A and B are shown apart, each in its own frame.
Chain A
């Protein structure tokens, strides 16, 4: 089959290594949420470098452990108590949060639920880089916006997330969200938060495979992505075939694969899924 030649040209094909990291992450998700101290060694390492280089951006950042210690340091820097780094995955018009790293206690995640976390992360209060961040204050949340209802707000408050900032991060074309929360309203320092947002973008840019694997946002091969892009630009199968210099059967098979990978029912839905997850 001609389609087999396609995936070879991938530039960003995730190496098999990452799969183990996802699994490791999933496993650790359960155990390590409640015990943020597991990475204390890493943390000391990073601190050591921190003193010599003011921005710690040259510090080693290659494993999940490094990521955790980096985020914990950042959390302390902005004056927050908890952090959560999430990717949003789209399923039709619903969104779910895929938690990449967090020091929220396990019960909080279970009680609040991934759906609500996704809403918090990408809701109306989320700040893009360069936009002044605004917090969700649990005490006045139900009145202020439709993100959470009264019961959920009370729950957040009780669990120590009285004030939550959501920041949008861009790591290349990947979109991620980081939530910083604190038990006291006004505890988080806003100017530092703005810096932390860019710092996070830079740091995560250095571990793109780790992020991509954890987020698992892009299941497509380069060829499939290209085909889907041209179809989203309104090109017909025959036109895409001419553009890419392959036969229209090949184009159709790429697109069929893309549709299958997204569990979509047709081209329009595959396009919508790809755009919603920022793939094309």
Chain B
């Protein structure tokens, strides 16, 4: 009961936050809060377990990296199972499509009618044997890509809820992805001049050209770039440019 009251209050609060700016709300969402929000979604479809995974950005290692799950602060067995399995198919799917995937263990009572809303979507082999489940591909604005998975024997997805649930998964993921890179805190101390240099580098200018454009010495331009790389925890300027773009520091 108490939980439900808190949920309502907090959700009201979230909606308040969304309204005025409309920008991606709740940018800085910690793992405990994110887990709580994920549990609300899980409750609405009667899922007993859930997990949020990042799809590793490397094109070579196709795997799911666990971020949070229903056993917070621990890690659930199911999560370890999914992360350990060969996730190549589901990762490829997530990178190319936004349609949800579902699986049902036919031995379980009631699994037939659980996913009527997903009749059109692809049914896959169970990610975790002995359960029913849904996997929602999610994406954030800086190209991060992930999967929110719900599981449980009683899981049910009414037709009217599909879009709403998936949209909430998107919002949750973009809030989590916003806090994911550990460099964001330090990155705030980057000066305007350093950002200018980074931006010009991203547009293909060399240090000499930057020096000319900003009326600096080449040495100073290089120093700005070195400093910004340090602040972004990057090893060279290529990585610094990549990180600055992914963090949204430059456009």
Query: Residues of A with Cβ closer than 8 Å to B?
Result: 11-12, 53-55, 57-58, 92-93, 124-125, 127-132, 134, 168, 170-173, 175, 194-195, 197-199, 201-202, 204-206, 208, 222, 225-226, 229-234, 236, 243-244, 264-269, 271-272, 275-276, 278, 280
Complex: A20 Cα to B123 Cα, angstroms: 33
Q: Do A278 and B98 have beta carbons less than 8 Å apart? A: no
B34 CB → nearest A CB, Å: 13
Closest A residue to B98 by beta carbon equals: A201
Q: Do A265 and B204 touch across chains, with their CB atoms under 8 A apart? A: yes
Q: Please, which residue of chain A has its CB at the minimum distance from the CB of B173?
A: A130
**Contact B141–A130 (Cβ < 8 Å):** no
Partner of A222, one of B59, B119, B206, B246: B59
Interface contact A132-B204, CB-CB below 8 Å:
no
Q: How far is the CB of A115 from chain B (nearest CB, A)?
A: 15
A269 to B95, CA, bound (A): 24
A-B contact number at CB 8 A: 154
Whether a CB of chain A sits under 8 angstroms from the CB of B171 is yes
- A90 nearest CB neighbor, chain B only: B251
Name the A residues within 8 Å of B24 (CB-CB): 128, 131
Q: Which of these, A129, A131, A230, contacts B18 with CB under 8 Å?
A: A131
Among candidates B59, B98, B236, residue contacting A202 with C-beta atoms closer than 8 Å = B98
The residue on B at minimum CB distance from A195 is B163
Residues of B at the A interface (CB closer than 8 Å) are 18-19, 22-25, 57-60, 92, 94-99, 117, 119-121, 137-141, 143, 145, 159, 162-164, 166-172, 174, 199, 201-204, 206, 234-239, 241-242, 245-246, 251
Are B204 and A268 touching (Cβ within 8 A)? yes
Tell me which of B120, B138, B145, B167 contacts A55 (CB under 8 A): B120
Q: Roughly how many angstroms separate A230 CA and B169 CA in the complex, as a whole number? A: 29
Do B201 and A226 have beta carbons less than 8 Å apart?
Answer: no
Across the interface, do A269 and B204 meet the contact criterion of CB distance under 8 Å?
yes
Least CB distance, A211 to chain B, in whole angstroms: 10
Min CB gap B207→A, angstroms? 11
Do A271 and B238 have beta carbons less than 8 Å apart? yes
**CB <8 Å contact, A131 and B204:** no
Nearest Cβ on chain B to A206's Cβ, whole angstroms: 7
Bound complex: CA of A191 vs CA of B27, how far in Å? 23
Provide the bound-state CA to CA distance between A129 and B163, in Å. 10
Tell me, rounded to whole Å, the shortest Cβ–Cβ distance linking A220 to chain B. Answer: 10
Q: Give Cα A58 to B116, complex, Å.
A: 12
Residue of B with least CB distance to A266 = B204
Within the assembled complex, what's the spacing in Å between the Cα atoms of A226 and B95? 14
A50 to B33 alpha-carbon distance, docked (Å): 40
- On chain B, the residues within 8 Å of A175 by CB distance are 139
5 tightest A-B contacts by CB? Answer: A130-B171, A234-B239, A269-B204, A272-B202, A232-B242
B159 & A54 in contact (Cβ 8 Å cutoff)? yes
Query: Are A173 and B242 in touch, CB under 8 angstroms?
Result: no
How far in angstroms is the closest Cβ of chain B from A51? 15
Counting chain B CB atoms within 10 Å of each CB, the highest count among A173, A202, A268 belongs to A268
Q: What is the distance, in angstroms, from A124's C-beta to the closest C-beta of chain B?
A: 7
Q: How close is A15's CB to chain B, nearest CB, in angstroms?
A: 15
